Amino acid sequence: MPWPMPDNLGGQVSFSTFAEWRSFVLALSPRRVIPEIVTRKFERAQKLHVLVWLDVDLIKAGELIALTALELALTDRYAVKEKERRRTLAAKKAETKHREISKSEKWWIENASLTDLLKYMVEHDGLT
């Protein structure tokens, strides 16, 4: 299975038994400081990943659920801060041009994407 490593982004890991595979997947469990709802969603993704041993096609379903859990966690953690940051930027821009904040700017303020939240996490919280 492809598994990036710090010194080898094209790294591979292999498993001889189901028990090895299950242990590997369960070792990726989130820390307990994460909100319960996010943890439950991530555990659903883990269950699917464990079942990949039986049917490799389940990997995509597991990945989608894991991304959903990630988006929920990032929204919970960073959405308010990102909205504040955007609101400040839009207000400064509007003030500079002596106008009100536009409708499209208001939409931009309220609708941060997963990409935006990941970028915020890296740039403002130092996480990678």
pTM, two decimal places: 0.77
pLDDT digits (tens, 9 = 90+) for 32-90: 788 888 899 999 999 999 999 999 999 999 999 999 999 999 999 999 999 999 999 99
Alpha-carbon distances of 41 from 1, 46, 71, 75, 107, rounded to whole Å: 23, 9, 11, 14, 28
Pick the range with the lowest mean pLDDT from 19-23, 28-32, 120-124.
Answer: 28-32
pLDDT digits (tens, 9 = 90+) for 2-19: 888 888 888 899 999 999
pLDDT digits (tens, 9 = 90+) for 88-126: 999 999 999 999 999 999 999 999 999 999 999 999 988
